[in-house]
């Protein structure tokens, strides 16, 4: 008969082993080159240089990064962070997406998408962060060839009636998520060997 203490100790030991195993899997790959970390970030004022457009009454701000020479044997992942000042007057949505690059059978496979809405986050105090994470398997799309993908961050909200008004709204609403950075894109992948 085991005691509750031994069950908890055994559970903690299994969790520790599992954590160490997963952590080591994230560092090396037997079939790929070295692990690479991509990061892009900036203050809220940098949003003025992003691609912007209106679609269906929504103002979109879009940041797209392309990654090449990717080993298809391991999944690629991405994290997205967006700082919000306080309870926004309009609902704001952050959508992070990974898409297959060119050439690639992007038509055959859906992008990996994750979406977080400001309405889903409790705004009791100023200074909240929207966080999203997604990953994409590359093997089916690229087989044994080097792959490529796009990391896309979209921020959108109902338009306030013009590009300048929308920019003022987003500059007033977006704040620092991490240090002086209002938005952060992080992606992890393994290089194609050779």
Is residue 160 predicted with pLDDT exceeding 70? yes
76: tokens are 């690629």
Q: Indicate whether 129 and 36 sit together in one domain.
A: yes
Verify that 13 and 99 share a domain, yes or no: no
> Are 14 and 97 within one domain?
no
Q: Do 9 and 67 share a domain, yes or no?
A: no
CB-CB contact of 123 with 85 (8 Å): no
The structural domain count of the chain equals: 2
Same domain assignment for residues 152 and 86: yes
- Residue with the bigger pLDDT between 67 and 131: it is 67
Identify whether the C-beta of residue 98 lies closer than 8 Å to the C-beta of residue 69. Answer: no
Q: What is the CATH number of the domain that holds 124?
A: 2.60.120
pLDDT tens sequence across 85-122 = 867 788 888 888 898 887 555 445 666 777 776 666 55
One domain for residues 6 and 49: no
Dihedral angle sign, alpha carbons of residues 119, 128, 126, 178: negative
What sign for the dihedral angle of Cα 93, 157, 107, 150? negative
| Per-residue confidence (pLDDT) for residue 14, from 0 to 100 | 32
Residues 176 and 81 in one domain: yes
Domain identity same for 85 and 153? yes
Decide if pLDDT at 35 tops 90: yes
**Does one domain contain both 65 and 93?**
yes
pLDDT over threshold 70, residue 17? no
Quickly state the pLDDT bin for 73 (edges 50, 70, 90).
very high
In a shared domain, residues 50 and 145? yes
d(CA 187, CA 133): 10
Read off the tokens for 13. Answer: 């030991």
Query: In terms of pTM, does the model score above 0.85?
Result: no
Domain ranges, residue 5: 1-30
Residue 36 and residue 21 share a domain: no
119: three-class secondary structure by DSSP: helix
Q: Which of 111, 103, 114 is nearest to 137 (CA)?
A: 111
């Amino acid at each position: 008969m085991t005691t509750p203490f031994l069950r908890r100790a055994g559970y903690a030991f299994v969790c520790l082993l599992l954590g160490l195993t997963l952590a080591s899997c994230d560092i090396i790959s037997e079939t790929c080159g070295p692990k690479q970390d991509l990061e892009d970030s900036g203050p809220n004022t940098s949003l003025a240089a992003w691609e912007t457009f209106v679609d269906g009454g929504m103002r979109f701000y879009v940041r797209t990064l392309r990654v090449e020479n990717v080993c298809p044997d391991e999944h690629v992942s991405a994290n997205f962070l967006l700082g919000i000042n306080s309870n926004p007057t309009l609902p704001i949505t952050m959508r992070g997406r990974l898409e297959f690059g060119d050439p690639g059978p992007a038509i055959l496979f859906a992008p990996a998408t994750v979406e977080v809405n400001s309405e889903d986050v409790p705004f009791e105090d100023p200074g909240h962060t929207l966080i999203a994470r997604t990953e994409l398997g590359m093997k089916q799309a690229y087989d044994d060839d080097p792959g490529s993908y796009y990391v896309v961050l979209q921020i959108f909200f109902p338009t306030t009636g013009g590009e300048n008004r929308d920019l003022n709204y987003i500059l007033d609403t977006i704040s620092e998520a991490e240090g002086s950075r209002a938005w952060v894109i992080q992606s992890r992948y393994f290089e194609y060997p050779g």
